[in-house]
Structure 1
Amino acid sequence: MAVFAMPSLGADMEAGTLIEWIIKPGDTVKRGDVVAVVETQKGAIEVECFEEGTVETLDAELGATLAVGAPLATIRAPGEDPAVSATAAAALETRLGPEAVTQASAQPAEMPPRMASAQTSTVPEPPPAVQRSDQAPPASPAARALAEERGIDLAILTGTGPGGAVLLGDVEAAEPAPIIQAPPTASAKAGRKMAAMRTAIANAMARSKREIPHYYLTQTIDLQAASDWLAATNAKRAPDTRFLMGALFVKASALAAAQIAQMNGHYDAEGFHPAKAVHAGVAVALRGGGLVAPALHDADTLPLDTLMGQMRDLVARARSGRLRSSEMTDGTITISAMGDTGADAMAAVIYPPQVAIVGFGAPVSRPWITGDTITPRMTVTVTLSADHRVSDGRRGAKFLAALDAALQTPEAL
């Protein structure tokens, strides 16, 4: 009998609030299945299961605020005797004690809307969701986000979740309906929540700068070969299959991280742990403010077409609040790009427990010496921020050289 516990969804997470169950007793689950939605300092995150078997019991109620490590559910392994569950539950209570779970409310009347931030350290005050009806039912954050996107009035839906809560599947099966606009006070409350998010991000980044001895290396890279290849390749593609320069930045950075192990991994109380794979965190700016950096798994080995498709999916889900726990916790290095119209350069702050982040400025045309001539070339300024406890400038320079080399042969990415 295995206990599925509240996972840590970030270096600064101490507790989370259970706001939706996706499973029920008797369901069969496997590793990677989404089993619950938890509200954390990073917003509402879909939590994936780490066990395989049959759900024996749900050990936490909706609205409960639980410390990291507190029990969420009991899962019976395949072939295990169900009678073991009572003994396991008793042993669990003896080991953890009742203080592991603090009840916020047994059945909250209104679930908080999904928000996300990759760099937060406190839980912002959740505002009421946008009102669509005086009798809007409780709904999960994912359901609310999709309902707003599709123009569906939650009040017309019959929820299949606990206490009649509207779940994502209920919205997916519904027809669009008119939305009654929110009263003026809603935007003010949303603004207060965004201010709280910015404060939380500031706290997390202050901790990073205080505890991590950053060093910075900046290099301007000739981007003409990549720019020409991108233009020629996209000219033969449908608009929805074209590559963005950001995909080349992510792939080149991932390849460089695979070569220079000191840039790819985590640092904790026991020291540096190099990662066995490159899970590239991609910084995504949220509409209205805030930032998340969900991970693209095995980014160094993904074909560019696959990587571009996954980036589009990741950005869409990040902005609609439908990220998964593994995407929020598995990142081994982060890539942040200003886009086509941003600043020329950016020195980013490392997101712990990672040990490096790569900042790309906006690509610009500059005079460039090629042989004995000066010609205009598309260039980009790249800044590596790295942890001096793990690497030094020499290793950082090798990382930038590997990144540069990858961008000179875009057809091989």
Structure 2
Amino acid sequence: MGADMEAGTLVEWLVKPGDEVSRGDIVAVVETQKGAIEIECFEAGKVSELMAQVGQTVPVGEPLAQIGDAEEPSLTTPEPSPEPAARPEKVAAKTPPKPAVAAPAMSGLRASPAARRAAQDAGLDLSGVTGSGPDGAIVLDDVLAAAKAPASSPKPGGAMSEMRKAVAAAMSRSKREIPHFSVTHTIDTQGVSEWLATQNEGRSPADRVLLGAVFVKAAAIAARSVKALNGHYEDDAFLPSDEVNTGVAIALRGGGLVAPALLQTDQMTLAEVMQGMRDLVSRARAGRLKGSEMTRGTLTISSLGESGAEKMTGVIFPPQVALLTVGAPQIRPWVVDQKVVPREVTRFVLSADHRVCDGRQASKFLTILADKLSKPEEL
């Protein structure tokens, strides 16, 4: 779910033992530092066992569920136990030991199943509830009493503080491990804006194509042509991608940033790119992104919007090897047909990984981008 993610908390199961699942089905929701992520299934078959419980923190790489088993699946989902559930021996034999990861308060506390369900329904953190049961275990009455008590002041920062920590960790790793270099190109975008204004005439706001969608589509085509900038760097090797999945940096309300991917962007029409971007923004701010959207990006684009600063140099999202930043369009003196005239221009900055490419490939990418933007009707 992210370059520095170590664990996630299971917050919801969307399947139960005995259900048939197909590749791509959403089976669970996991809470991360960047919000709730929908977990997709990558196999087809029958769910035979749910191995993780709601409220449990699961390290990256640990199994959540079993699909396909010689044994008959149980007919009910597992009930949370006051004691942490022991891992099945058959899984422990297959899974190498992993570094310890601190569990959240809910998964490590002694609490009855009824108390856990009531706390989940009330949105109550069990770490703040005093137990009156045997050995201090939390029982239903404790949760009901805590739910009626006046709410305590939230911790400073809260979820946004965790978001900032996640962003800082990923960007620190990126700057530490990736030898960045950047190339800047100022492109005349007057023609693009005029063409878009004509195309959007008579359309409702929901059907209009924004300038950002044109930039994303043009960048996807450039990435398809310059394969050295499209892929992942993992295990000391560059793995070019056959797909162009453009990550779109989205600012969340109240602060924070995520960059889910628009899959196979180069194969989309402009209208489909615009629709896909609107969908990503809506779901990102609602906390309902899919796991594949957070991991399959091959090149990220970050835009300052249609007003504001004219230039920004970005930090690459590992394991990707390039990031394109787009400044706000500006009116500047520009030479057209040997005359200086006012034109709308936009500055593009490509940050790239020197381990896999150099200035020549970066320059080629920006040249192709400029060419595509000069002919928006062909996008």
TM-score class, shorter-chain normalisation, is: 0.7 to 0.9
Task: Tell me the amino acid that sits aligned with residue 220 of structure 2.
Answer: A
State the match for 1:30 in structure 2: 22
CA contact (8 A) 2:34 2:166 kept: no
State the match for 1:276 in structure 2: 242
- Choose 13-22 or 382-391, whichever is displaced more: 13-22
**Matched residues in 2 for 1:307 and 1:20: separation?**
30
Shift of 1:45: 0.8
State the match for 2:206 in structure 1: 240
For residue 157 of structure 2, the aligned residue among 185, 188, 191 is 191
Matched, 1:94 2:93: yes
For residue 315 of structure 1, the aligned residue among 281, 299, 302 is 281
**Matched residues in 1 for 2:115 and 2:212: separation?**
42
Render the CA deviation track for 1:81-130: whole Å, top value 9, x for unaligned: 44699xxx65323233797896445769689xxxxxxxxxxxxxxxxxxx
State the match for 2:294 in structure 1: 328
CA contact (8 A) 2:163 2:256 kept: yes
Identity of aligned residues (%): 52
Q: 1:90 to 1:184 in 2, by over 3 A?
A: closer
State the match for 1:74 in structure 2: 66
Which TM-score applies when normalising by structure 1? Answer: 0.75
**Matched residues in 1 for 2:323 and 2:258: separation?**
14
Render the CA deviation track for 1:331-358: whole Å, top value 9, x for unaligned: 0000000001221101000000000000
Residue 216 of structure 1 aligns to a residue whose secondary structure is strand
Task: Tell me the amino acid that sits aligned with residue 13 of structure 2.
Answer: W
Number of residue-to-residue matches in the alignment = 335
Q: Which runs of 4+ in 1 moved over 4 A?
A: 97-103, 105-111
Residue 24 of structure 1 aligns to a residue whose secondary structure is coil
Q: Specify every segment of 5 or more residues in structure 1 that has no aligned partner in the other structure, as ranges.
A: 1-8, 112-133, 141-162, 164-181
Q: 1:139 to 1:411 in 2, by over 3 A?
A: farther
Which TM-score applies when normalising by structure 2? Answer: 0.82
**Matched residues in 2 for 1:110 and 1:224: separation?**
59
Residue 266 of structure 2 aligns to a residue whose secondary structure is coil
**Matched residues in 1 for 2:165 and 2:116: separation?**
25
State the match for 1:215 in structure 2: 181
Matched, 1:259 2:234: no
State the match for 1:229 in structure 2: 195
State the match for 1:363 in structure 2: 329
Shift of 1:280: 0.3
CA contact (8 A) 2:33 2:162 kept: no
**Matched residues in 1 for 2:115 and 2:249: separation?**
34
State the match for 1:381 in structure 2: 347
CA contact (8 A) 2:4 2:169 kept: no
What root-mean-square deviation, in Å, do the aligned CA atoms of Structure 1 and Structure 2 show?
Answer: 2.7
CA contact (8 A) 1:29 1:54 kept: yes
Residue 222 of structure 2 aligns to a residue whose secondary structure is helix
**Matched residues in 2 for 1:73 and 1:135: separation?**
24
Task: Report the structure number with the largest CA radius of gyration.
Answer: 2
Render the CA deviation track for 1:60-86: whole Å, top value 9, x for unaligned: 11122222221211111xxx744699x
Q: 1:243 to 1:97 in 2, by over 3 A?
A: closer
Q: Specify every segment of 5 or more residues in structure 2 that has no aligned partner in the other structure, as ranges.
A: 75-87, 125-139, 141-149
Q: 1:109 to 1:308 in 2, by over 3 A?
A: farther
- Choose 31-40 or 91-100, whichever is displaced more: 91-100
Q: 1:21 to 1:139 in 2, by over 3 A?
A: farther
CA contact (8 A) 1:110 1:138 kept: no
Q: 1:302 to 1:398 in 2, by over 3 A?
A: same
Render the CA deviation track for 1:300-341: whole Å, top value 9, x for unaligned: 110111111111111011011110101111100000000012
**Matched residues in 1 for 2:114 and 2:378: separation?**
53
Task: Tell me the amino acid that sits aligned with residue 373 of structure 1.
Answer: K
State the match for 1:40 in structure 2: 32
**Matched residues in 2 for 1:55 and 1:31: separation?**
13
Shift of 1:236: 3.0
